[in-house]
Structure 1
Amino acid sequence: MNQKINTILVPRPKAQGEKLAQQLILAGFKPLCHPIMTYNSNANEAIIRHHLIEHKPTILVFVSIAAVEFAQQHFSINQWQSLSDIEAIIAVGSSTQEALKRYNIESLCPNSFDSEGMLALPILEQPSLSHCRVTIVRGEDGREYLAQNLEKKGAKVNFLSVYEKVWLEFAADQAQQWRQSQINCIVVTSNAFLNHLVQIIDISDDYWKNHCFWFVISERVAVCATALGLRNVINTHGATNQAIITTLLNTELTYD
């Protein structure tokens, strides 16, 4: 059975969600921007300074725009070199790279905006990374897969948490409200988002399980969504707004 896209749920944090929603409208779609989380800071200049002095990273990895903004807010990233031995900075994707550029910081960016893409960068693809000290700048969790693979090659990996996710509370009938808004597509940008969405939506419900379309940004999220029993999972192969919109435009929605 063929189905058209009615309303697309965008559950990203407010600023990112509104930017995607605006581009979706320009592409002819009807989005509903409804953040399910926000961010809080959980670091300060003293914490960052201590980390840099203690671990002396040679490579910095920024995992998100939020990681850049909260780090910069506490202690200008341009000054980090004075307390460490930074040789390279890696941004997980183009949006994170642009955030760094706003502070005149050049960074490497993979072709595939995920952990696998970062591991494929020449600087990290070397057989041995025993000479590398890597700091992953992130929220309170995430990128464990990246860290584990770097450690297997001998790198010393540490996490620097500069923000934390705050999951918002919803009414008991939130899923029903979304159905009334004719939501039949949901954009999911991480496993954390997927797990919290399924707490809001009863995925044993036939509609969400078999008739809603879940657009996810990587194979890892796609595997998790399928394992949860979601039937219509579509991989955008990237978290950029353009990757999401291009996939939406090129996908014919069908279900049996």
Structure 2
Amino acid sequence: MSHWRLLLTRPADDCAALAQCLAAAGVASSSLPLLAIEPVELSEAQRQTLAVLADYQARIVVSKPAARLLLEHLAQGSLPLPSKGWFTVGEATAAVLHEAALQVSCPAQGDDSEALLALPALREVVAVAAPRVLIVRGVGGRELLAERLAEQGASVDYLELYRRSLPVYPVGTLLRRIEAERLNGLVVSSGQGLEHLLQLAAADWPQLAQLPLFVPSPRVAEQARAAGAQQVVDCRGASAAALLAAVQRSAAPAS
């Protein structure tokens, strides 16, 4: 039985699935979702983009919500769905697209933009003359992908299908939860998740910054340290397996 008692902060459905995986490995957790997914109403330009997906050499889907909403919109419009040329940042997002019988490439290790950019299959696609790349995502985020792909000569478009918001909680909720359940570690799955953690913590952050903080990538680890987090653990991935591996190789704080 692990001595870790972690605060999970992903969207509600993801928290539930992650908590189940951790519990099976003997790791206790408590869920406080800090990311709510709000679908956006599609513009006419976005609908036109959905209709011409085959015009892109690469279609990069950066999250599970983006994958689910994309498939929903395509099904509602009875639009064609190219089977090849799909890429994701992580295996969990790839699994959503696999359910639609799509051929998806994703990094075997590392759920971040850097790992995806190093993927040979993506490099091969963008090596053609004047490649077009579509990034399917929420509003904002992962600018590094577009910047690096543009440097390689690609024309990059976005298809933004949702917004992420911080659910409304009473002041002091975060610290009260941690103290009441004697939690000894925090988990965020993205840079925006970290931003929402800091926002909700507010004046309590200096105290909470002493707790070990599990993050998905070097980029988010750097952001966390810059914000004052004292013990940052880079899981090198946002999957349950990556978090569990990081937890198992990290010693829990003394009670």
Specify the code of the residue in structure 2 equivalent to 1:208.
L
Structure 1 contact 45–75 (Cα < 8 Å) conserved: no
Provide the rounded CA distance (Å) in 1 between the counterparts of 2:203 and 2:99. Answer: 41
Aligned-pair CA distance for 1:124: 3.2
Provide the rounded CA distance (Å) in 1 between the counterparts of 2:58 and 2:219. Answer: 25
Specify the code of the residue in structure 2 equivalent to 1:58.
Q
Specify the code of the residue in structure 2 equivalent to 1:28.
G
- Counterpart of 1:249? 248
Number of positions where the alignment pairs a residue of Structure 1 with one of Structure 2: 247
Structure 2 contact 175–208 (Cα < 8 Å) conserved: no
- Counterpart of 1:140? 139
- Counterpart of 1:234? 233
Instruction: Kindly report which structure 2 residues correspond to 1:147-162, keeping only aligned pairs within 5 A, or say none.
Output: 147-162=146-161
| 1:28 matched to 2:26 | yes
Per-residue CA deviation, residues 202-251 of structure 1 (Å, 9 max, x unaligned), is 476553122x1100110001011011111010111111101101111111
Instruction: Kindly report which structure 2 residues correspond to 1:22-101, keeping only aligned pairs within 5 A, or say none.
Output: 22-44=20-42, 47-52=45-50, 56-76=55-75, 79-81=80-82, 88-101=85-98
Structure 1 contact 203–209 (Cα < 8 Å) conserved: no
Specify the code of the residue in structure 2 equivalent to 1:59.
A
Structure 2 contact 105–121 (Cα < 8 Å) conserved: no
Provide the rounded CA distance (Å) in 2 between the counterparts of 1:243 and 1:63. Answer: 17
Cα RMSD between the aligned structures? 2.4
Please list every run of 5 or more consecutive structure 1 residues that lacks an aligned counterpart in the other structure: none
Provide the rounded CA distance (Å) in 2 between the counterparts of 1:108 and 1:78. Answer: 22
Specify the code of the residue in structure 2 equivalent to 1:113.
D
Distance 1:39 1:205, change over 3 A: closer
Per-residue CA deviation, residues 84-114 of structure 1 (Å, 9 max, x unaligned), is xx85110111111110011111111112221
Aligned-pair CA distance for 1:52: 4.3
Distance 1:141 1:35, change over 3 A: same
- Counterpart of 1:223? 222
| Bigger Cα displacement from structure 2, 47-56 vs 194-203 | 47-56
Distance 1:254 1:14, change over 3 A: closer
Please list every run of 5 or more consecutive structure 2 residues that lacks an aligned counterpart in the other structure: none
Identity among equivalent positions (%) equals 28
- Counterpart of 1:194? 194
Query: What is the SS of the residue equivalent to 1:225?
Result: helix
Q: TM-score, normalised by structure 2?
A: 0.88
| Bigger Cα displacement from structure 2, 147-156 vs 53-62 | 53-62
Query: What is the SS of the residue equivalent to 1:169?
Result: coil
Per-residue CA deviation, residues 141-197 of structure 1 (Å, 9 max, x unaligned), is 112100000001110000001111122111112133122221221111111110110
1:12 to 10, 13, 23: 10
Specify the code of the residue in structure 2 equivalent to 1:186.
L
Structure 1 contact 140–164 (Cα < 8 Å) conserved: yes
Query: What is the SS of the residue equivalent to 1:242?
Result: helix
Provide the rounded CA distance (Å) in 2 between the counterparts of 1:6 and 1:236. Answer: 15
Q: TM-score, normalised by structure 1?
A: 0.88
Provide the rounded CA distance (Å) in 1 between the counterparts of 2:60 and 2:129. Answer: 17
| Bigger Cα displacement from structure 2, 69-78 vs 10-19 | 69-78
Provide the rounded CA distance (Å) in 2 between the counterparts of 1:144 and 1:230. Answer: 24
Structure 1 contact 175–201 (Cα < 8 Å) conserved: yes
Provide the rounded CA distance (Å) in 2 between the counterparts of 1:201 and 1:167. Answer: 12
Provide the rounded CA distance (Å) in 1 between the counterparts of 2:199 and 2:241. Answer: 28
Provide the rounded CA distance (Å) in 1 between the counterparts of 2:120 and 2:19. Answer: 35
Structure 1 contact 133–155 (Cα < 8 Å) conserved: yes
